Amino acid sequence: MISAGDFKNGLTIEMEGNVYQVIEFQHVKPGKGAAFVRTKLKNIKNGGAIERSFRPTEKFNPARIERTDMQYLYNDGDLYYFMNTETYDQIGLGRDIIGDSLKFVRENDEVKMVSHNGDIFAIEPPMFVELEVTECEPGEKGNTATGATKPCTVETGAVVYVPLFVNLGDRLKIDTRTGEYLSRV
C-alpha cells in the first residue's frame, strides 16, 4: 500500500476502479487545519485528468503496469497486428486502442505494449525514429527568415514540419512524443 504522503511524479495507483498516474503533487500545510496532499492525476486508460486532495495517511494500492516488447507487423482494415518478440504470439488490436501511436512506426518496427492486468490500453512507439521524406516541396529561394519551415510527408504518411533545406529522399530523425523534426541523418 502507498500512502498519499509518499506520492512521486510518475507513480501509478488504483483508485475507484481506475488506474491513475500522478502527474503533479504538492504537500500543503495550511496555517489552520491538517496538512494535505494536492495532486493532479491522469487516468491512463482514457487519458482524462483530475485534480484531487488527499490526507497524507490515505492508502492506495500500487498499479502494476507491464510493458512488453512487440513487433508491429501490418494492419488489415481496422485491425493492427503485433508479434511478441520472445514467444512469437500474435495479437490484433483495434483502431480505438491504437489511436495516433503508430503515426511514425513502420512495419517490422519495435513498439512497447502497455497493459494493466492483461488489458492492453496503450502502445508506446520508440522515442526517436529515422524516416525517409517521400513528399516535399522545394524551399523557396530568398525565404530565409529565421525558423522558416515547410510541411513534408515521411514514409509512414505522417506530415512533419521541417527547415527549408530538407529535400525529397532525405532521412530525418523525429521525436515521436512531439512529432518534431530533430535532424537529418
Give the CATH number for residue 23. Answer: 2.30.30.30
User: Between β-strands 49-54 and 79-84, what pairing exists: parallel, antiparallel or unpaired?
Assistant: unpaired
The percent of residues in the chain predicted with pLDDT above 90, rounded, is 42
Average per-residue pLDDT for the chain: 88
Domain count, the chain: 3
Band of the pLDDT at 131, cuts 50, 70, 90? Answer: very high
Pair 111, 91 in one domain:
yes
Pair 46, 20 in one domain:
yes
The dihedral sign for the CA sequence 11, 70, 72, 179:
positive
Domain of 20, in residue numbers? 2-62
Band of the pLDDT at 142, cuts 50, 70, 90? Answer: low
Pair 90, 108 in one domain:
yes
Pair 111, 159 in one domain:
no
Q: What is the pTM of this model?
A: 0.72
What is the average per-residue pLDDT within 77-100?
A: 88
Pair 45, 80 in one domain:
no
Query: For 24-71, how does the pLDDT look when each residue is reduced to its tens digit (9 = 90+)?
Result: 999 999 988 899 999 999 988 777 899 999 999 999 999 888 889 999
